[in-house]
Amino acid sequence: MASSSPPTTQHMPTTSAYDLWSAVYDTDGNVLQQLDDGFVDAHLPALVAALPTSTPPPTIIDLGCGTGRNTLKLAKLSGGIHVVALDNSQGMLAQLHHKLQDANVTNVRVCVQDLSSITFPDAALRSAMRQGSTATNNDEAAKAAGIISTLVLEHLPLHTFFAAIPKPAIRSREEILQVASDYGFTLDGAVGEEGVRDAAHAKELGVRAEKWIGVKMHLGMVLRMMDTGFII
C-alpha cells in the first residue's frame, strides 16, 4: 500500500492569506458570509435611516471592509452618505475597486489601513475621510457618524479592535472628573453646563450658533488639587 504523507500546514500572515483568498472570497460558498448577509440585510436600513441628514453628508466607516460585500450595500442604500472603507489586504481592496467601478458607485473612498496599528487622529484615515467629503472644515470632514465591521473581530484582539474605532473627542463630565480624580483633583463647586438656549441667544452669539440651538455644548468646572489647593 502506498504511504500517503500527511498534509503540511503553511502559516502565513493574515494579510497574505486574504490577498490569496481575494479572487474567490465572494464566490466560494462561505457559510459565515451567508449568515452575515441575513443579519446585515436586516439591520443596515435602520442604521442608515438613523443617520443625520446633514450637510456635508455623514461619513460611515467600514472597518475591515474586505472585498466590500457590505460596503456596497451601505453605499447603495443611500447616495447621501460618504463611506470610507478600510482594510490592509491589497488583494481584497482590488476586488472592491473593481466592484465600485462596475457599479459606478462614487460615494466610497478606500484606504489601506492596518487596524492593529491605527492611532487617532490617523493621517491616512483622515485624508481618506476628507477626500470624499464635501465638508469645508477639516475637523467636520474627519468625523464619522457610524461604523460597520463584519467578520473582522476574529482577527484582532478585542482591545485592539475597540481602540481602532475612531471616537469623538467629546468627554462626559463623569469621565473628566474620574480622570481628574486619578490625578489628585477634586471638583470645587458645581459643573456649569451651557449651550445655545434659543433663537434670541443664537442671534447674540452669531450665525455659527444657529445650528446649535437647544444643544448643551460647554462644560465649565473648577478643579482643586486635593492636597495643595492648587486650582485649574
Ligand X SMILES: C[S@@+](CC[C@H](N)C(=O)[O-])C[C@H]1O[C@@H](n2cnc3c(N)ncnc32)[C@H](O)[C@@H]1O
| Contact positions vs ligand X (CB under 6 A) | 14, 18, 33, 36, 64-66, 69-70, 87-89, 92, 114-116, 150-152, 155-156
| Shortest Å distance, C-beta 41 to ligand X | 12
Query: Torsion angle, CA of 167/169/172/176, rounded to 10 degrees?
Result: 120
Quick one: CA dihedral 103, 107, 109, 115, positive or negative? negative
By beta-carbon proximity to ligand X, the closer residue of 143 and 155 is: 155
Minimum distance of ligand X from residue 93's CB (angstroms): 8
| Closest alpha carbon to 108 in 56, 154, 68 | 68
Looking from the CA of 64 toward its CB, the CA atoms found within 13 Å total: 19
Other CB atoms within a 10 A radius of the CB of residue 113 amount to 23
**Cβ proximity to ligand X, 107 vs 150, nearer residue:** 150
Phi-psi category of residue 104: left, alpha or beta, with phi > 0 → left and psi -120 to 50 → alpha: left
Q: How far is the CB of 227 from ligand X (least distance, A)?
A: 44
CB of 204 to ligand X, least distance (A): 48
166 CB neighbour count, 10 Å cutoff: 20
Given a contact cutoff of 8 angstroms between Cβ atoms, the answer to whether 132 and 107 are in contact is yes
| Grid cell in block for residue 137 | 472644515
Minimum distance between the CB of residue 167 and ligand X, rounded to whole angstroms? 18
| Shortest separation between residue 195's beta carbon and ligand X, angstroms | 38
Per the CB < 8 A criterion, the answer to whether 146 and 47 are in contact is yes
Q: Return the residue nearest ligand X (CB atom).
A: 66
**Using CA atoms in the order 96, 102, 106, 110, what is the torsion angle rounded to 10 degrees?**
10
